[in-house]
Structure 1
């Protein structure tokens, strides 16, 4: 009797266990069916996106063209296909009855024989009546020296001697000058017509201003225009995060140069101009932007900016940011900090694009 009861109990337990297993399998099947649906939907969505993008792939250039006006150009060195350099709104040469201030312009040079003649001509063609132009070469072995000899009667002077780099060449060059207004122009860049007269006139009308700069054209190794930087006006705050000021358009008074040590920091090989601007700012200099194209920045494969931006340049920029901010910010923080500035730039650049077709239609 007890054995029969025990057997029935065992059979009953086995049946219940089997039902439990069956129910568990059903529950698990339902569970996996539920959680599988989002993945199935995601897979379906990805397939739809792939088909959509494939269908519209031929239209991508059109979309990029439509989006182009809404992207910042500051920082970009190659923006459109090469075209003849036609500076929009060529800067007129101003005439004044007063004696114009002496401008001390130097060109630090090293192995840029292919470009330095065009650089020199862009300066001499200014026909500025009170110019002190000195060229400090670092001992080039290319055709640079023959070019310098060709122009030595038209420039203040030149020397070719070994140095430790561009920063030392700049300091040596400026040590030979006496002008009230100062600037340097690299041996592969250009001044645009009327730039010196415009700068001198601006300083004369704004005696409180210490530093000025303008807009930039970008050119390739053949002198063809490949882009432009239209500045949105000066912003002292953004200087702590990035340097967008076009160096070849930068001019300053000797008084602020003397006040900040009368030299660039020779420990910098790439960002010496940004460091100088920070020192000017911290010394109380008043900056102003001239809304005209003053210079052309040449982009080519042997250029220091292109060659060093990913190594030396990044190290020096991080060094400057750490000195100012007390830390090295990441890309996202820098982008957020400069976004208002870039937004103003994009609005001015867009306005420029709208005006240009209207001018041509007149």
Structure 2
């Protein structure tokens, strides 16, 4: 089983090398690693070229945003499974991809969801974001599994479409809604903590970001003809607190 890992980057010179080395250190020997660079202006390309022997395919050209770049990577992919590794993230251990491959070989599913760990720049873990209690119905109140923990069969993109490039930070929410809720794909919780992510990404920083993702969550649900309560989406932080207290 071949697994395609896609990294999208732009001016990522401070982090991209760790990401590349994280992929290169994986024990799995059937990885297709694809990097899509958005025509970086720093020395990101020099780092990519330095590690070209560790990368299956890469391009550097202007794009129309994050999700357009992801779509380019998916179009280039030939693997049985597709996973996304952001340019400032690393895999949680060097066996993650083999663990994912083994899980999919044992389970007749179209996608798996897992966990990620978020940490500060000093290395301190601040959050474990788990999919253990997640199910597609929770998309209706604003909850999705952590995107980097989701691994899809590549054929799903041909059947149900790619990422909608019109979103700024909610394109992954829309795609997961379309796959899991609208089209009822088969999936299973893997229990695997796939990714270590630097805390404070574009979709998790500040009130402006919260308002934008709230708007785009609702847009994603409307686009897929999913009935939901806009009020419940707006106060989804309350459900997070309730879920934390239950745990």
Q: TM-score, normalised by structure 2?
A: 0.88
1:276 to 136, 153, 175: 175
Task: Return the alpha-carbon distance in structure 1 between the equivalents of residues 5 and 97 of structure 2.
Answer: 10
**1:294 aligned onto 2:194:** yes
Residue 230 of structure 2 corresponds to which residue in structure 1? 329
Question: Offset at 1:328?
Answer: 5.6
Question: Offset at 1:330?
Answer: 1.5
Which has more strand, going by share of residues?
2
Extract unaligned runs of 5+ from structure 2: none
2:25 to 125, 138, 141: 125
2:99 to 188, 198, 223: 198
- Please say if residues 214 and 234 of structure 2, whose CA atoms lie closer than 8 Å, have aligned partners that are also in contact: no
Q: C-alpha offsets along residues 63-117 of structure 1, whole Å, 9 cap, x if unaligned?
A: xxxxxxxxxxxxxxxxxxxxxxxxxxxxxxxxxxxxxx10011101112211111
- Please say if residues 259 and 283 of structure 1, whose CA atoms lie closer than 8 Å, have aligned partners that are also in contact: no
Residue 2 of structure 2 corresponds to which residue in structure 1? 102
**1:138 aligned onto 2:38:** yes
Extract unaligned runs of 5+ from structure 1: 1-100, 351-362
* Partner SS state of residue 99, structure 2: helix
Equivalent residues in 2 for 1:13-162, closer than 5 Å: 101-162=1-62
- Please say if residues 39 and 62 of structure 2, whose CA atoms lie closer than 8 Å, have aligned partners that are also in contact: yes
Residue 163 of structure 2 corresponds to which residue in structure 1? 264
Question: Offset at 1:320?
Answer: 2.2
RMSD, aligned α-carbons: 2.5
- Please say if residues 192 and 293 of structure 1, whose CA atoms lie closer than 8 Å, have aligned partners that are also in contact: yes
Considering only CA atoms, is the larger Rg found in Structure 1 or Structure 2?
1
- Please say if residues 81 and 154 of structure 2, whose CA atoms lie closer than 8 Å, have aligned partners that are also in contact: yes
Change (3 A) 1:335 1:177: closer
Change (3 A) 1:330 1:234: closer
Q: TM-score, normalised by structure 1?
A: 0.61
Residue 225 of structure 1 corresponds to which residue in structure 2? 125
Count of residues in correspondence between the two structures: 242
- Please say if residues 241 and 337 of structure 1, whose CA atoms lie closer than 8 Å, have aligned partners that are also in contact: no
Residue 253 of structure 1 corresponds to which residue in structure 2? 153
Q: C-alpha offsets along residues 121-145 of structure 1, whole Å, 9 cap, x if unaligned?
A: 1111113111100100001111211
